[in-house]
Amino acid sequence: MKKKLSLMLCLCFMVLAMTACGTDPESVDYFGMSYSDIQNNLEQTVSALVSFTDEDIQSGAEYYDSQGMDAFAHLLTSWGETVSDLGSYQGLGDLTVTKAQKTVTADQVLHFSDRDVVVSYVYEYNYETEAPELTDASADLVYSLGEKMEKAGMNTLMGMGTVFVVLILISLIISCFKVIPYLQNKKANANAKKDEADPVVEQIEQREETAQLTDDLELVAVISAAIAAAEGTSADGFVVRSIHRR
């Protein structure tokens, strides 16, 4: 029994050791493509890219986009965005090819005087044609670890700043809710005072009209008496009518 257990343990260690050794990428079959095929494709692409002018890049991107070749259009667009930061071309760097399920990714490093760049190809297996198909291609600048950390820190600060600004705006909006009832109560009190003042104003106007009417009657009586005295007649025949002013 002990011998069997020892044999099983030895087999397990052998399997783990073989797994840890890894596979030579140059001997892997990439859906019918070899490592050399992918390397040659990328080398030809790089030779064309480093010789392109700005006009060639723009016209090429427009042409591939009109033909529905999105991968090459994306490659030229991203290359045009990075080429100004590269400097003079120094040569090819490492080529890394990885295979994951039905996807193959190839990353070719290009050395330049100012900054390196990585040209990437992404192939996916097409079940209809039973062959790999180029689905994406791009050119990306290579950043050092310090630059990546600095960029990540800036993104973090910007995210935190955005959160704080949003929180401040929310707090200001909430504080405004306390002012709204105060303004509503102030308006209601003003309307109530106005309603209370209206009857008083009406009473004063009525009293003024009554006093004015009395003065008019007295004036009419005096004028009537004067006319009667002048004509030698009685003032009883005069009819006094009230005058309403509008």
Identify the pLDDT of residue 74: 93
Mean pLDDT by 10 residues, the chain (246 residues): 40 35 60 86 91 91 91 92 89 91 91 92 88 90 78 82 87 78 73 60 61 59 65 56 53
CATH number at residue 122: 3.10.450
223 is a domain residue: no
Query: What is the distance of C-alpha 146 from the center of its chain?
Result: 29
Number of domains in the chain: 1
pTM across the whole model: 0.54
Q: Which of 133, 132, 131, 110 is nearest to 120 (CA)?
A: 110
Identify the pLDDT of residue 225: 66
62 is a domain residue: yes
* Sheet of strand 117-126, all strands in order from the earlier edge strand to the far edge: 89-100, 103-112, 117-126, 131-141
246 is a domain residue: no
226 is a domain residue: no
Identify the pLDDT of residue 7: 38
Identify the pLDDT of residue 140: 92
201 is a domain residue: no
52 is a domain residue: yes
Label residue 46 left, alpha or beta by phi (over 0 means left) and psi (-120 to 50 means alpha). alpha
Identify the pLDDT of residue 5: 35
Identify the pLDDT of residue 10: 40
Identify the pLDDT of residue 188: 72
Residue 124 domain boundaries: 23-142
Identify the pLDDT of residue 32: 81
Identify the pLDDT of residue 112: 93
Q: Give the alpha-carbon dihedral of 79, 84, 85, 86, to 10 degrees.
A: 70
99 is a domain residue: yes
Please, which contacts does 142-147 make with residues 24 or more away whose CB atoms are closer than 8 Å?
A: 142/109, 142/115, 142/116, 142/117, 142/118
Helix extents (H) in the chain:
2-21, 35-51, 54-66, 70-82, 145-231
Identify the pLDDT of residue 180: 74
Q: Which of 87, 82, 107 is nearest to 97 (CA)?
A: 107
Q: Which amino acid is at 214?
A: T
At 52 the three-state DSSP class reads: coil
Identify the pLDDT of residue 160: 85
31 is a domain residue: yes
Identify the pLDDT of residue 137: 92
DSSP state, residue 36: H
Q: Which of 77, 80, 50 is nearest to 62 (CA)?
A: 77
CA distance 132 to 103: 8
